[in-house]
Amino acid sequence: MKVLIRADASVAIGSGHVARCLTLAKVLRLAGAQPVFACRALPGHALAVIAGQGFETVALPAGYKDEMTGDIEAALPWRADLDALQAALPGQRFDWLLVDHYGLGAAWQTGARSLADRIAVVDDLANRPHDADLLLNQNLNAEASAYAGQLPSTCRLLLGPRHALLRPEFNVGPVEIAPRAKRLLVSFGGADAQGETFKVMTALADLDELEVDFVAGAANPAWPALTQALVGREHWRLHRHVDDFAGLMARADLFIGAGGGTSWERAALGLPSICIAIAANQVGNAERLALAGAHLYLGQADAVTAEMLRAAVSLLAGNVGLRHSLAARSRALVDGKGAARVAAALLTGALRLRPATSADAQLLFDGRNAAEVRRWSLNDAAIDWDGHLAWLQRSLANAERALLVAEAPDGPVGVLRYDRIEPQRAEVSIYLLAGREGRGWGQALLAAGDRWIAEYWPGLQAIAAVVKPANVASLKLFQALGYRQQDCHFERTPPF
């Protein structure tokens, strides 16, 4: 599967769009996909960083003839950008085009269908229409109602921090909450055009008991002033590049940063945080996280003073109960598996269903006997090998049973079994193989299976299922696919 990713980084834009797309691209590559990045060669671009991660890159012109002044991202002339993209990729076609850019909306997306079969959009704003087949908004305040009338009716929505695009190193255990905070980490992204890092340095100038790591980023325009501020402060360290940011976060007691993508990194680690919104699009999410008790939000950057920062740090450093509360509430929102879920949604188009054969005996035996599968099976007893082989032979010979194996580019994903209990009615059973759980594959697998069986048994008028009452994941799965529920019984009718 080929995926074209259109995102920009620059001193003005920052590196957040590219950073989260890189995270997703790495998961897609592990699954056998081929991501390609197309980015404008703006001052502070990330093309070399992307290429250094082993991805193919396409450099687009930094400026276009009719480019407007002002917001370098929102004011991007979409037609010129699309023309440049098409010219850079003559004759190429992709399975997906994923765009993460505030300046490229519905008109650009419609035109970009000349390059890709499907369009995916990463959106934080919910304030403009999109021509998309899939839309991701990982913010806590993301709601389907905000997109009413702005999307095609067939667009699939991935909403909320459950889908936050986090690198694997953030899917680890929580940080240790110290009785008193002694180590502080400060980061406002790769650019920090507003100068918040220097403001924090001013706020912490007389808090000598704190050991502080400042991550300013290679594109920070205030680097000379930041370097000068370190003079005489042996307990401060200034980092231009950090290979293990997650490790640095895990060793911190407190974090001060912006309301962008690092919000989810901090939440996944349970790192108590002070948040400042450095862009208007961060405000809603930062406020919602504060209401959820997940961080301490001070407001937008231009309204936050060094005195406010100093007071907030002093409060949190000495209040271990409050830090425990912030950590617990933030970790409840983010489990670190969002990139895998989004990748699974994109890979659905590459999911292949095939009838099982006798060569699948070991795969089916191990899958059915997995502890998590047995836990939720109506018959939760372990099966023996001889009994399994006999069952498989009967199943393969049974014209009223369809036993299917689902495969992604990186291998088997799950198993579906359909039994025709009446001429126009079938019952479905589904399970995912070990390691595939919790990543969104279930919905893709069941949707593909229902379409397959409707063609295999033409005239089918109902598909039924029975789920254990405590199996919340399966209950939600069947509900999401349009199955009507009565107690623990589900039924779906055409169209499948």
Q: Which residues are catalytic?
A: 17
Q: Is 233 annotated as a binding residue?
A: no
CA distance 333 to 291: 13
- If one counts every other C-beta atom within 10 angstroms of the C-beta of residue 18, the result is 25
- Two structure tokens written together for 442: 């279930």
* Residue 78 and residue 101 in contact, taking contact as beta carbons nearer than 8 Å: no
- If one counts every other C-beta atom within 10 angstroms of the C-beta of residue 81, the result is 24
* Residue 246 and residue 316 in contact, taking contact as beta carbons nearer than 8 Å: no
Comparing CA positions, the residue from 382, 479, 467 lying closest to residue 427 is 467
Strand order through the sheet with 273-277 = 236-239, 211-215, 183-187, 254-257, 273-277, 296-300
DSSP state of 154: T
CA distance 319 to 492: 53
| Alpha-carbon dihedral 68, 71, 77, 82, rounded to 10 degrees | 140
CA distance 91 to 441: 32
Q: CB-based burial of residue 390 (10 Å sphere; 0-12 exposed, 13-18 middle, 19+ buried)?
A: exposed
Q: Is 113 annotated as a binding residue?
A: no
Comparing CA positions, the residue from 353, 458, 338 lying closest to residue 415 is 353
- β-bridge mates for residue 492, sequence order: 463
Cite the annotated binding site by residue number.
167, 265
Q: Which residues are annotated as a binding site for substrate?
A: 167, 265
